[in-house]
Amino acid sequence: MADELKRRLVVGLESSPKYIPFSYKYDEVGSRLQKESCEHVHDYYVTASEVSILQNSAQDIIPNVPNDLTLVDIGSGDCSKTRFVIDELIKRQNTLAFYPLDISGEFLMKAVTKLKEEYGDLLTIHPIVSDFMHELDQLRQIKGTKLILWIGSIFNQSYEDQISTLRLISTIMTDQCQLAFSADITLSRDAVLKAYNDDGGYKRRINLNGISRLNREEGSMIDLDKFSYHLDFIRNTHPEYMSYVRAFIEAKEDVQYPIPGLGIDLTMKKGEHLYLHEGTGLSCKYTLEQLQTIVEKAGLRLAGTLIDKEKHAVFCRCVTK
Ligand SMILES: C[S@@+](CC[C@H](N)C(=O)[O-])C[C@H]1O[C@@H](n2cnc3c(N)ncnc32)[C@H](O)[C@@H]1O
């Protein structure tokens, strides 16, 4: 595992309160669970809403420029939603250079193999395995006009990280480039709790995959039966904040588990919480005003929004100021 990720894990597990960085749950297992949850959790409205926007309005996400565009997909996953934009761009310009970037390397390479089989010479793919919060150098080298997608990801970072990642993305943009990122605008507590407490337990398994991965890769033997799992929705419509889901495990008794791969012990008192994300929450929800504030704090300009019929999701089109 990359030293930086290990360092962040140690920081999280030694913080007060303790946490596991959100992106750690995205190994091969976590990415597969994420994909399955999108297919099987019908109450998880975000995917359907994002897909409906892309299906109906992919052309409105593409900037109207005379030259060919290069497509960048940050946190691309299996690229299934991206295909709507790929298809639209190939219709316009016949061929397309495509740069998907994801931290989950094996999963990304499988997706790339599938895309290559399907699109052949129409699509030239340059996969990048990297952490979008820290490292976008390879994308900065791309010449020409870029359409950058960041789908299904911003809402899984802390407020500060959302702004700093957007600011980092802005450093790979010229005044011709456009960024389109999706966000969840659902503020109904019932709808949110239904979506994240699914009967099949997909969301729970995804959230707990960080712990299971510590056991698989770092030699720990953390027994999840010694913890209870909790999930809540915190609604906050202040213009300079957001609503969010909070997920944590609580120790049912005092526990101590060595984590040999990290050289530390996980020691928790009865009743202590371990958060399954950094920052206050994950799966954040926004008002449009809150999104506009985040975009502006990152030094970008919100050029337009696309919202689905159910008003669950939005694509924000952003340009440089
Ligand atoms: C919720 S999924 C979204 C996937 C895809 N864009 C979609 O909408 O279906 C988040 C994706 O971001 C990736 N990811 C999470 N944290 C990351 C990071 N720090 N750097 C790069 N990729 C990351 C995960 O591996 C995962 O594929």
Q: Would the pLDDT of 317 be above 70?
A: yes
Tokens of 150: 């960041």
Q: Are residues 265 and 299 in the same domain?
A: no
Tokens of 97: 């250079």
* Closest C-alpha to 219, from 275, 265, 251: 265
Residues 6+ positions from 229 with CB-CB distance below 8 Å: 204, 207, 208, 247, 248, 249
Q: How confident is the model at residue 242 (pLDDT cuts 50, 70, 90)?
A: very high
If you measure from the C-alpha of residue 253 to the centroid of ligand 1, how many angstroms do you get, rounded to a whole number?
34
Q: Are residues 27 and 49 in the same domain?
A: no
Instruction: Give the pLDDT confidence of 48-93 residue by residue, as tens digits.
Output: 999 999 999 999 999 988 899 999 999 999 999 999 999 999 999 9
Q: How far apart are CA 30 and CA 105, in angstroms?
A: 12
Q: Are residues 161 and 301 in the same domain?
A: yes
Q: Are residues 297 and 169 in the same domain?
A: yes
Q: Would the pLDDT of 1 be above 60?
A: no
Mean pLDDT value of segment 252-259: 98
Q: Are residues 56 and 23 in the same domain?
A: no
Judge if the beta carbon of residue 127 lies within 6 A of ligand 1. Answer: no
Judge if the beta carbon of residue 27 lies within 6 A of ligand 1. Answer: no
Instruction: Give the pLDDT confidence of 183-237 residue by residue, as tens digits.
Output: 999 999 999 999 999 888 999 999 999 999 999 999 999 999 999 999 999 999 9
Judge if the beta carbon of residue 82 lies within 6 A of ligand 1. Answer: no
Instruction: Give the pLDDT confidence of 26-39 residue by residue, as tens digits.
Output: 899 998 998 888 88
- Give pLDDT, residue 278: 83
Q: What single-letter DSSP state applies at residue 68?
A: P
Q: How far apart are CA 296 and CA 243, in angstroms?
A: 19
Q: Are residues 75 and 109 in the same domain?
A: yes
Q: Please state the domain count of the chain.
A: 2
Q: Are residues 306 and 176 in the same domain?
A: yes
Q: Are residues 219 and 106 in the same domain?
A: no
Q: Are residues 84 and 116 in the same domain?
A: yes
- Which residue has a Cα nearest atom 1 of ligand 1? 152
If you measure from the C-alpha of residue 178 to the centroid of ligand 1, how many angstroms do you get, rounded to a whole number?
19
Q: Are residues 59 and 164 in the same domain?
A: yes
Q: Are residues 81 and 162 in the same domain?
A: yes
If you measure from the C-alpha of residue 317 to the centroid of ligand 1, how many angstroms do you get, rounded to a whole number?
19
- Give pLDDT, residue 252: 98
Judge if the beta carbon of residue 30 lies within 6 A of ligand 1. Answer: no
Q: What single-letter DSSP state applies at residue 270?
A: T
When mean pLDDT is compared across 156-165, 289-298, 306-315, the lowest value belongs to: 156-165
CATH number at residue 153: 3.40.50.150
* Closest C-alpha to 9, from 272, 278, 317: 278
If you measure from the C-alpha of residue 279 to the centroid of ligand 1, how many angstroms do you get, rounded to a whole number?
17
Residue range of the domain that includes 88: 45-187+286-320
- Which residue has a Cα nearest atom 12 of ligand 1? 75
β pairing state of 313-320 and 178-184: antiparallel
The structure's pTM equals 0.87
Q: Are residues 122 and 242 in the same domain?
A: no
